[in-house]
Structure 1
Amino acid sequence: MPTNRILVLGGGIAGIEAALALANMGYKVTLVEKSPAIGGKMAMLDKTFPTLDCSICIEGPLISDVARHPNIELLAPAELMDLTGSPGDYRARILVKPRYVTDDCTKCG
């Protein structure tokens, strides 16, 4: 039974752009990133080629849009463990790694 939910693997600039484009079309998107934060290699760059624009000036607003978009579920840090099924009816098993010792912990002190 299709649910119009799409899985995007990788939270670099390409994954961010894909997730936002699909979410803006009305699809429910699950964005899976293996590191604790999205942004990928672009987040580590000072400037982009060929315009030498500020990297974070381009990517920062997109990261914020992902965090606030009602159609995007962000899972980070997480890994795809298994993918089964056929086109239009896939099942994904995703391992979501803990951010803290417990879910109640927020590093408050």
Structure 2
Amino acid sequence: MEHINQNIKKIGSITIVGGGIAGIQAALDIANSGFKVHLVEEKPSLGGVMAQLDKTFPTNDCSACMMGPKLVEVANHPNIEIFAYTDVLNVDGEAGRFQLTLKKNARGVDPEKCIGCGICAEKCPVKISDPFNLDLN
């Protein structure tokens, strides 16, 4: 077993790969400790599987009721930068000094101009799969 050098200088930022409920909570906990957090999610939005659930096990609590406030908090936290719809292509380095290569995927809509009205969806002739809804639409 290789031992990690205990004298590693702290860089001051952390990357969390995965924007499900665990990644969101980890990002919030670390950001609240004063560190800069880069939250990377491969899907277009945060939430993971929990965002698709109605209730949680074993308490049958409302998933959206638990997830909603966390999403608002993570989106508005000054120490968290979200990289949604982004793939991790490569990881280099060693403990305490990692360097990631990321690829931001195209959304097809300019987020600076989009106001969420939905008109472009009505006009667009292209139909794409919807993995979030298991392609049931």
TM-score (norm 2): 0.73
Is residue 89 from structure 1 mapped to residue 79 from structure 2 by the alignment? no
The 3-state SS of whatever aligns with 1:53 is coil
Structure with greater Cα Rg = 2
Q: CA deviation at 1:99?
A: 2.3
Q: What residue in structure 1 maps to residue 59 of structure 2? A: 51
Counterpart contact for 1:100–1:106, Cα < 8 Å: no
Distance 1:18 1:48 in 2: 19
Give how far 1:50 is off.
1.0
Q: CA deviation at 1:100?
A: 2.9
TM superposition shift of 1:97? 1.2
Where do 1:14-93 residues align within 5 Å?
14-93=22-101
Q: Which has the higher contact order (CA 8 A, sep 6+)?
A: 1
Change (3 A) 1:62 1:103: closer
Whole-angstrom distance in 1 between the partners of 2:110 and 2:72? 25
| C-alpha RMSD over aligned residues | 1.7
Q: Secondary structure at the match of 2:16?
A: strand
Mark the runs of 5 or more structure 1 residues left unpaired by the alignment: none
User: Where does structure 2 lack aligned partners over 5 or more consecutive residues?
Assistant: 1-8, 120-137
After TM superposition, the score normalised by the length of structure 1 is 0.91
